[in-house]
Amino acid sequence: MRAFHRSVVVLAALAISAGTVVAQPKKAPAPPAGGDAEPEIEIDPAADAPPAGGDEIDMGAEPGPGDLDADMAAADAANANAVKAGPAVRTPLSWKDILVVVRKPFLKARRTELLPMVGTSVNDNMVRHYSVGGQLSYYLTDVLAIGVEGQYYRPSFREPFDLVARQARRLPTINTLKWSAALNFNYVPVYGKFAVLDKRLITWEVAFTAGIGAGQSEVEERDKKFPGFTNLLIMPNVGASMRFFLAKWLTVQVGIRDYVFLDKFEPTDRSPTMNATADEAKSNADTALINNVMFQIGVSFWLPTSFEYTTFR
Amino acid sequence: MKKHTFLVVAALLAAEAANFGAGIPEAHADRRQNSLANDVAVRHRRLLVRGRFELAPLFESTINADFRHIIGGGAKLEYHLGDMLSFGVVGVFGTALNTGLVKKIEPTLEDAADPATREPSRDEFMTRLNSMPIHGAGYVSITPWYGKLAAFSQAYLAFDFYFQAGVAYAQLKSDCPASVCNDPSPGMSSGPDGMTPPDNNPNNDDPLNSGSRLGLYIGGGIHVFMNDFIALDLTIRDYAFTDNPSGADFNANLAVTKDDARFMHHLFFGMGVSIMFPTTVKRTP
């Protein structure tokens, strides 16, 4: 019976002590005793102070035997000291010299961006063009991409279109856009991050775009008795856009693009005897340089949907 | 005996194991989640706007005006109560430039009015257009986003986005001389006992598009800080109030009346240089 009580007490004490030790917060590890332990560098505020003994830097405990990496590192350090020549340069080192650079949270190199987008013209007070389209871009590097885009346009006449006819008794001469396509080059010179309501960080960037493409416009006939005509346009474009990163595969993009082209407009003098046919009217059309500035917004999907960092953190 | 010993030991171990399992979340909570979870988004942040006055000389130009572009210069004065809330005023003196639409219409109009048509003469069309010599707003501003950017991997700049709303004011002006706008009673009978019927010609009516206007103001923009106290300030502003820019008959009742004015948006692009006072900044912990 006495032996029984002693066994119970001993086992209970062992169990309680073991559980208590495990449940406690982790204490600072003891110096490695065995050969399998990794050498550790202690981030100690006292380590910022220069060592009192001289120029040596204390990198922590000596590695135990059997650690190949530590042995090679020690051998390299010894060799470096052995071949050191010339005047010694004292370089104060401390943890404060290590700059923490956050990795870019989104990598684009060798990824494809599919951007469905909608847009509206912003600089024409007679007709507003709404567009729907898309852009497919391949990023050669993290800042440089090549892509193709296509857009389909729908016009909407604005208030001055009617006012000019009603108040000034003049019929406006306008063309509407039908479609456009372009080959674009994108360059990303600006990136940054911002805090929303001091709670959440969002990364964004600014991209510049330049491209060359083609499109089609159509004359809005002032008098429906006379046929209109269409124009095939050479359309270079330049623009800038902002991209907001929401996920590794999802971004939101808003931007401004200026499509520049020479357009042909319906001649003002059309009658049964003059510029009556579409070909005649087109050959005598008035030409003007047009800047069609579009505001565009879209959601980008990225392929592959994820990426891996190739550099150390 | 052995059986009893085993049962007691097993019960003790089970009880301790239960305590061990329950203790994990509390004991190791600090190892799985550090203080960053409840921290602010940015520490050691320069308080570039909080508690500072902002004085910004600025330039403004209309965006996509119908008949007359308004360009001008002015200033913005704003006080930032905190990082996100501020209030201020903006005022601009402007001059008017004819748009491309006006330049296309004007040469096609006749020099003299033709009473047989409702087509305005050149003077009737041009002198009725109004301009905006003064405009401005008082507003409350919210700055929900702030951050920093790297330009060409060389320049690292702080910036913030802001949105404003308030009351707009505009002084409108048109100069239709009495020789052109000479209808004494637009749209109404006149003369002794009202025996003279309306002339049904809106082109000689007073345009009624001068004077002061109050309306709504909304805006949004970005500060890009060049240093601790100077920032580039880019803004889109919308001054919305009742207006009739052409001064002509809008509702087709053959007379220019107050009913021809409608609530219109006047979009401006503004660019200024903001100077913050005091010029030194504090940092968050």
For B248-262, what is each residue's pLDDT tens digit? 999 988 899 999 999
- CB atoms inside a 10 Å sphere around CB B121: 17
Work out the minimum CA distance from B143 to partner chain A, whole angstroms: 8
Lowest mean pLDDT across A40-54, A166-180, A265-279: A40-54
Whether the ω angle into residue A32 lies within 30 degrees of 0, i.e. cis, is: no
Q: Which residue has the higher pLDDT, B238 or A98?
A: B238
| Distance, first Cα to last Cα, chain A | 63
A15 contact B CB<8A: yes
Give whichever of A12-26, A52-66, B116-130 has the largest mean pLDDT: B116-130
pLDDT bucket at A62, cuts 50 / 70 / 90: very low
Inter-chain contact B119–A26, Cβ cutoff 8 Å?
Answer: no
Inter-chain contact A160–B1, Cβ cutoff 8 Å?
Answer: no
Nearest residue on chain B to A293, alpha-carbon basis: B64
Lowest mean pLDDT across A62-71, A302-311, B94-103: A62-71
Whether the ω angle into residue A105 lies within 30 degrees of 0, i.e. cis, is: no
Using CB atoms and an 8 Å cut-off, which of residues 187-216 of chain B contact chain A? none
Work out the minimum CA distance from B192 to partner chain A, whole angstroms: 31
- CB atoms inside a 10 Å sphere around CB B77: 13
CA distance B50 to B86: 9
Residues with Cβ < 8 Å from A171, sequence gap 6 or more? A164, A165, A222
Task: Give the angle subtended at the CA of A71 by the CAs of A69 and A74, to the nearest 5°.
Answer: 110
* Residue in the block written with tokens 């060592």: A51
Nearest residue on chain B to A159, alpha-carbon basis: B66
CA distance A89 to A91: 6
pLDDT at A113: 97
A17 contact B CB<8A: no
Do B198 and B277 sit in the same domain of this protein?
yes
Of the residues B3, B7, B20, the best mutation for testing chain A's interface (the one with the most A CB atoms within 10 Å of its CB) is B20
Structural contact between residues B276 and B86, judged by C-beta atoms closer than 8 angstroms: no
Residues in chain A: 313
Q: For all residues of chain A together, what is the average pLDDT?
A: 78
Inter-chain contact A168–B118, Cβ cutoff 8 Å?
Answer: no
A26 contact B CB<8A: yes
Using CB atoms and an 8 Å cut-off, which of residues 92-131 of chain A contact chain B? 122-126
Inter-chain contact B5–A25, Cβ cutoff 8 Å?
Answer: no
Six token digits for residue B116: 């047989």
Work out the minimum CA distance from B160 to partner chain A, whole angstroms: 8
Structural contact between residues B59 and B272, judged by C-beta atoms closer than 8 angstroms: yes
- CB atoms inside a 10 Å sphere around CB B199: 17
CA distance B165 to B49: 18
Backbone angles phi, psi at B199, to 5 degrees: -80, -10
Work out the minimum CA distance from B171 to partner chain A, whole angstroms: 23
Residues of the domain holding B168: 47-283
For B206-220, what is each residue's pLDDT tens digit? 999 999 999 999 999
Q: Does CATH number 2.30.30.100 belong to domain A112-303?
A: no
Do B9 and B112 sit in the same domain of this protein?
no
Burial letters for A137-162: b for 16+ Cβ neighbours within 10 Å, e otherwise?
Answer: bbbeebbebebebbbebebeeeebbe
Nearest residue on chain B to A189, alpha-carbon basis: B152
Nearest residue on chain B to A143, alpha-carbon basis: B152
Do B12 and B55 sit in the same domain of this protein?
no
pLDDT at B118: 81
Residues with Cβ < 8 Å from A238, sequence gap 6 or more? A208, A209, A210, A211, A257, A258, A260
Structural contact between residues B248 and B201, judged by C-beta atoms closer than 8 angstroms: no
The arithmetic mean of pLDDT across residues B130-150, rounded, is: 94
Residues with Cβ < 8 Å from B139, sequence gap 6 or more? B87, B88, B89, B90, B164, B165, B166, B167, B217, B219
3-state secondary structure of A193: strand
Do B154 and B240 sit in the same domain of this protein?
yes
How far is Cα of residue B211 from the mean position of the Cα atoms in its chain? Answer: 22
3-state secondary structure of A141: coil
CA distance B146 to B140: 17
Do B227 and B137 sit in the same domain of this protein?
yes
Q: Residue B160: its chain A contacts at CB < 8 A? A: 194
The arithmetic mean of pLDDT across residues A257-268, rounded, is: 96
Work out the minimum CA distance from B144 to partner chain A, whole angstroms: 5
Nearest residue on chain A to B102, alpha-carbon basis: A164
Of the residues B5, B16, B153, the best mutation for testing chain A's interface (the one with the most A CB atoms within 10 Å of its CB) is B16
B40 contact A CB<8A: yes
Do B27 and B51 sit in the same domain of this protein?
no
Do B29 and B59 sit in the same domain of this protein?
no
Quote the crossing angle between the two packed helices B2-27 and A2-23, to the nearest 10°.
Answer: 10
Residue type, B100: G
Six token digits for residue B178: 């009495």
Q: Residue A22: its chain B contacts at CB < 8 A? A: 20
Do B31 and B103 sit in the same domain of this protein?
no
Structural contact between residues A184 and A210, judged by C-beta atoms closer than 8 angstroms: yes
Inter-chain contact B146–A195, Cβ cutoff 8 Å?
Answer: yes
Six token digits for residue A298: 């879209």
Work out the minimum CA distance from B20 to partner chain A, whole angstroms: 6
From the list A210, A154, A202, the residue with the least C-alpha distance to A178 is A154
Between chain A and chain B, the number of residue pairs with CB atoms below 8 A apart is 125
Six token digits for residue A208: 């510049």
Backbone angles phi, psi at B132, to 5 degrees: -130, 85
Inter-chain contact B149–A24, Cβ cutoff 8 Å?
Answer: no
CA distance B200 to B118: 9
pLDDT bucket at A70, cuts 50 / 70 / 90: low
Work out the minimum CA distance from A143 to partner chain B, whole angstroms: 10
CATH number for position B84: 2.40.160.20
Six token digits for residue A1: 């019976």
A7 contact B CB<8A: yes
Q: Residue B8: its chain A contacts at CB < 8 A? A: 8
The arithmetic mean of pLDDT across residues A234-258, rounded, is: 96
For B173-201, what is each residue's pLDDT tens digit? 998 999 999 888 887 777 777 777 778 88
Residues with Cβ < 8 Å from B182, sequence gap 6 or more? B204
Is residue A30 predicted with pLDDT exceeding 50? no
**CA dihedral over A178, A183, A189, A190, signed as positive or negative:** positive
As beta bridge partners, residue A64 has none
Residues with Cβ < 8 Å from B160, sequence gap 6 or more? A194, B48, B49, B143, B145, B146, B147, B222, B223
pLDDT at A74: 56
B77 contact A CB<8A: no
Helix (H), strand (E) at residue B32: helix B29-32
A199 contact B CB<8A: yes
Nearest residue on chain A to B4, alpha-carbon basis: A4
A288 contact B CB<8A: no
Instruction: Using CB atoms, pick whichever of B8, B99, B160 lies closest to residue A8.
Output: B8
Inter-chain contact A198–B64, Cβ cutoff 8 Å?
Answer: no
How far is Cα of residue B214 from the mean position of the Cα atoms in its chain? Answer: 15
Query: Backbone dihedral region of A60: left (phi > 0), alpha (psi from -120 to 50 degrees) or beta?
Result: left
Do B53 and B22 sit in the same domain of this protein?
no
CA distance B270 to A94: 48
Do B34 and B57 sit in the same domain of this protein?
no
Do B91 and B173 sit in the same domain of this protein?
yes
Structural contact between residues B101 and A125, judged by C-beta atoms closer than 8 angstroms: yes
* Residue in the block written with tokens 């623009």: A239
Six token digits for residue A134: 């898309």
Is residue A42 predicted with pLDDT exceeding 50? no
Helix (H), strand (E) at residue A232: strand A230-234
Can you list the positions of beta strands (E) in A62-174?
Answer: 112-121, 127-139, 144-157
For A165-182, what is each residue's pLDDT tens digit? 888 888 899 999 999 999
Please give the tally of structural domains in chain B: 2
B269 contact A CB<8A: no
